[in-house]
A and B are shown apart, each in its own frame.
Chain A
Amino acid sequence: MLARIQVPSQARRGEVMTIRISIQHAMETGYRLDDFGRAYPKNVIHTLSCHYGGKEVFRAEMGSGIAANPYFEFYVLAEQSGDLRFEWQDDSGVRGAERAIVQVVT
């Protein structure tokens, strides 16, 4: 699964960093029908988590109410240099991951 993340490469200690993530996914609701009247099975990304320095700082649990190609913007407090790990999984069991390194200066 393709994803784009936007994380500041450098931040001051105590600064609130803006994190943006966009994942390419159809977020199939289960209500859409094909040409034969059969419903496409529901397949959405149900969990997205963000770990910073091994600690979970943000987590999203969602259903079919999130628009296709889900996009999230959230905030993380810069404490120490380390990596931000993003992980997500959809209903069909497909997992995705992405990481970014943040340099924290004092």
Chain B
Amino acid sequence: MNRRTFLSSGFCALPWCTPIAWAQTETKREQFMREVSGGAVVNPGRVIVDTPTLADNGHSIPVRITVESPMTPEDYVQRVTILAERNPRPIVASFMFSPASGRAEVMTRIRLADIQDVVAVAQLSNGTYWYGQTKVIVTELACLEEVR
């Protein structure tokens, strides 16, 4: 192979593939968010996802989700959904609140199959949707059996 045939081969096109693949995972997340909101616009903000930045294993990762809301009968959080787009089942859980909750906050432990952003989508009583996200680095992944 000489220099000219090497340059015209597909090898040099490789770096150009990477941004396209990245853009596709972005739309995948948007697709799940749209599924949760039923097509409505999901705005960034108001939701805080608190997780450890580095998790030793993906089998049990503590996640605390806090939504800024007065939690009055006029203005409260109805539902919070946790999304992990690279899990085999990306919709992890959803939590229903009411004004009797007093505070729109929940803590649980989740499984993660990959290094990824944990996204939480909140549905407010006025019909708007908000989301927050945090990246979690997992050194030993959950669902290893699936790869086998």
List A residues at the B interface (Cβ < 8 Å): 16-17, 29, 31-33, 52, 55-68, 70-77, 79
B100 touching A77, Cβ below 8 Å: yes
Complexed CA–CA distance, A99 and B99 (Å): 21
**B92-144: which residues lie under 8 A (CB-CB) from chain A?**
92-103, 105-111, 143
Other A-B contacts than A65-B110, A71-B107, 6 sampled, CB-CB below 8 A, are A62-B92, A63-B89, A65-B82, A71-B108, A72-B107, A74-B95
Interface status of B146 (Cβ within 8 A of chain A): yes
Residue of A56, A59, A75, A76 contacting most chain B CB atoms (<10 Å): A75
- A74 contact set on B, CB distance < 8 A: 95, 101, 105-107
- Provide the residues of chain A in CB contact with B96, threshold 8 Å: 56, 58-61
A31 touches B60 (CB 8 A): no
> With A62-B93, A67-B59 as given contacts, are A75 and B145 in contact (CB-CB < 8 Å)?
no
Are B145 and A33 within 8 A (Cβ)? yes
- Cβ contact of B61, chosen from A16, A60, A67, A76, cutoff 8 A: A67
Q: Chain A residues near B106 (CB, 8 Å)?
A: 60, 72-74
Among residues of A, the one whose C-beta sits closest to the C-beta of B81 is: A61
A75 and B101 contact, CB distance less than 8 A: yes
B37 CB to nearest A CB, Å = 16
- Rounded to whole Å, the gap between the CB of A37 and the closest CB of chain B is 9
